[in-house]
Amino acid sequence: MKSVRILCICLLTVSAVIGNEKCPGVTVNVSEESDVILPCSLSTNQNLEQKLFDWRKKAPTKQEVFMYDGGLHYNNGRPGQDEHFRGRVSHFPQELQFGNASIIIIRNTTVADSGVYTCDFPHLQPEQRFCIKLVVGAAPKPFVGILNISEDEALLKCEVRGASPKPKVEWRDSDGNILPAEEPQVSHTGERYDITLLTTVTRTNSSLFHCVATQEELGHVTRD
């Protein structure tokens, strides 16, 4: 009966492979500076108040995020939490009795929080582990400008700075058609991308041009 329930979780969610371990999990996407809940719940709903669970970040960096052991945890004296998460992570005490070990990362998620997190119950039989992939996106508005203008043509520049994950940047006309443009200039610092896209348009009275940045991972579209 128990194994059937666990199988259901696996079917409903994405399986992330971490190293050689398979770990049922989900992907959570948020934009920068928002709060996020990383879900972790036992299908058995067993009371966790006196149990141990440990949240770690596994990739791309290894960090101790939140450990709870029978009431003692990182927010009430237990040492060992990574500096990066200090004061930003908490659990839901009232949910523990229902087998819910979800945590919230509060305050100001940044692109650097992106990665794979694991939620472990090392003392349970059988031992349980869940994986959560967190994608923190930064979606700055594109900045547009006119580089050169003549009687019948204009050279337009669209600049997106510090976006993450890497967006697709396009010039479009007022009907939404994609305009031919030069090869985008892309540079990045860590996970953040700067993209510049130039296009030459013919000046017609009615034309309105937009620069559109799309981050498919986030289902996110920003435009000038």
Ligand X SMILES: *[C@@H]1O[C@H](CO)[C@@H](O)[C@H](O)[C@H]1NC(C)=O
Nearer to ligand X, 116 or 160 (CB): 116
- Interaction residues for ligand X, span 27-66 (CB under 6 A): 27, 29, 37, 39, 41
- Choice from 82, 194, 217, 224 touching ligand X (CB under 6 A): 217
Q: Are 133 and 165 in contact (CB under 8 A)?
A: no
CB 67 within 8 A of CB 76: no
Q: Which is nearer to ligand X, 21 or 33 (CB)?
A: 33
For the chain, first and last CA: distance in Å?
Answer: 54
Q: Of the ranges 52-60, 100-108, 120-128, 190-198, which one interacts with ligand X (CB under 6 A)? A: 100-108
Tokens linked to 34? 């928002």
**By rule CB under 6 A, what string of x and - marks binding of each residue 176-215 to ligand X?**
----------------------------xxx---------
Q: Is 5 left (phi over 0), alpha (psi -120 to 50) or beta?
A: alpha
Which residue in 59, 64, 62 sits closest to 103, CA to CA?
A: 64
Locate 217 and state its tokens.
């991972």
- Give the interface with ligand X as residue ranges (CB under 6 A): 27, 29, 37, 39, 41, 92, 95, 100, 102, 107-108, 110, 135, 148, 150, 204-206, 217, 219
